[in-house]
Structure 1
Amino acid sequence: FVFSTIYNQIVVGPTAVEQESKTDTTIDPVVADELDAYARRILPALKTHEYKCVGEYVGIRPGTNQRDYQFHVHAQPPWLSVAGIRSTGLTASLGIGQHAMHLLLPLLASVKRQGQSPSTT
């Protein structure tokens, strides 16, 4: 994406670059140059104007080795793990919640039949 902020700054990105490290948040100069070239291609006026980069940001996305969302149901203690939610998670959040509910309902029903109280911790 290339867009302007209310402060008249141009924003370029985001990117999605796979990496092994879960802690390295350094800016890759090759990716920064690619974003600069992309912005200049989309906004030709940038080619003739000098501008200053006011910020570069890196975030580590919470992904897994699999490309799909991960849903894991654990009977004891009753627990549902949902992982691997990437940038599509906002759009898919209602479906993710509905799927999680369908996975949890039978588990919670069995806990109730056993006379236990589902733990909230």
Structure 2
Amino acid sequence: MDLQQRAVQIRDESLQFIEACKQHIQKGRSLKDETTRLSEEAMVLKEECIADRCKSLAILKLLDDHKDMSGRTNIPIASIAEDTSLARVMIEEIKQVYLPEENPLNELKTKFLDLSYLPAR
């Protein structure tokens, strides 16, 4: 093999190596994008689970309070006022959280705040 053929072979191998590197870089970027997307989905699911857990705990507390109150004629107004006050604080905290329009939690936040009809103090 003469020198010119060897140079052409080295050039061709170099071009193939460069092309393989470009493909690996592109694949790495795609995997990074997919990882980012999956992380965002996982965070949304985690937030939804937390919200569902909070709702479940609130329902269980209401059921427990109802069991405690069954058979009684006097309802503890202080407890209701305390729960209402706590709910107001939670609503104010939720209002202060900034969520971009494209964030799926923004829709949940809006729906929740639409349901927050607690009377003003």
- Using CA pairs under 8 Å that are at least 6 residues apart, name the structure with larger relative contact order, 1 or 2: 2
Return the structure number with greater helix share: 2
**TM-score with structure 2 length normalisation?**
0.28
Return the structure number with greater strand share: 1
**TM-score with structure 1 length normalisation?**
0.28
- Rg bigger for which structure? 2
